[in-house]
């Protein structure tokens, strides 16, 4: 990490659509981090660590989702101001893949290739969805559905995972601000 790829600031936790929450990064974040695209970050909110990604708002600025668990540990909620430290996360992101999913991917090369090309978050969602099944028949059904969807290039829908909480929080951030013009 370059020494300038770190920001320390205070921000208000804002409500997002779908029950999510987020903080906006300062306007110069794209200059500090050298990109206007989404990138992985290590963030602390009132000293509570969180690993996630920035999301472009659409006006050249970024936001980062603040999960309910992080809010609780940080002693903050929507409307509160928190101390924020953001730095680029250069660490490798890995996914714990259930053995059944690994075996199924090994026997479906096209699905395996598409799975490896997916964002880490999407791979984690598929893995968690399969691993969370309590009954063997449910696990097998989910595995079959996952392989079909992965082979078709579909990302998880969130039915059994946590998709959307962070993304929805920031995805509509710009709609809460009046547009100039």
pLDDT value for 181? 35
pLDDT given at position 148:
94
Let me know: does 32 contact 47? Beta carbons within 8 Å.
no
Q: Which of 52-56, 90-94, 127-131 has the highest mean pLDDT?
A: 127-131
**Rounded Cα distance, 181 and 178, in Å:** 9
Q: 169 vs 149, which has greater pLDDT? A: 149
Reported as a pLDDT band with limits 50, 70 and 90, residue 162 is: very low
The predicted pLDDT at position 141 comes to 95
53, 80, 96, 133, 159 from 101: Cα distances, Å? 26, 42, 10, 13, 18
Look at residue 4 in the predicted model and tell me its pLDDT. 62
Q: Minimal CA–CA distance to 155: which of 132, 126, 180?
A: 126
Q: Encoding tokens for residue 33?
A: 């981090």
pTM of the full structure: 0.60
Tell me, what's the pLDDT at 170?
62
* Average pLDDT of the residues in 60-77: 91
Question: Hey, what domains does the chain have and what are their CATH numbers?
Answer: 6-91 (2.40.30.100), 99-151 (no CATH)
Helix (H) or strand (E) holding 145: helix 136-151
Which own/partner contact pairs does 105-111 have at CB distance under 8 Å and 24+ positions apart?
A: 105/147, 105/150, 108/147, 108/151, 110/151, 111/147, 111/150, 111/151
């Amino acid at each position: 990490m370059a020494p300038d790829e770190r920001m320390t600031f205070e921000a208000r936790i804002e409500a997002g659509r779908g029950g999510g929450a987020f903080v906006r990064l300062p306007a110069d974040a794209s200059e500090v981090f050298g990109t206007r695209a989404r990138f992985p970050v290590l963030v602390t909110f009132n000293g509570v660590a969180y690993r996630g990604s920035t999301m472009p708002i659409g006006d050249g600025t970024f936001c980062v989702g603040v999960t309910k668990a992080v809010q609780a540990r940080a002693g903050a909620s929507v409307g509160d101001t928190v101390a924020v430290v953001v730095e680029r996360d250069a660490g490798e992101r890995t996914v714990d893949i259930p053995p059944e999913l690994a075996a199924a991917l090994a026997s479906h090369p096209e699905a395996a290739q598409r799975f490896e090309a997916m964002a880490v978050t999407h791979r984690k969602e598929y893995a968690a969805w399969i691993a969370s099944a309590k009954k063997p028949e449910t696990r097998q059904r989910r595995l079959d559905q996952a392989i079909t969807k992965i082979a078709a290039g579909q990302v998880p829908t969130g039915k059994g995972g946590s998709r959307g909480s962070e993304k929805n929080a920031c995805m509509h951030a710009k709609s809460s601000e009046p547009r100039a013009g």
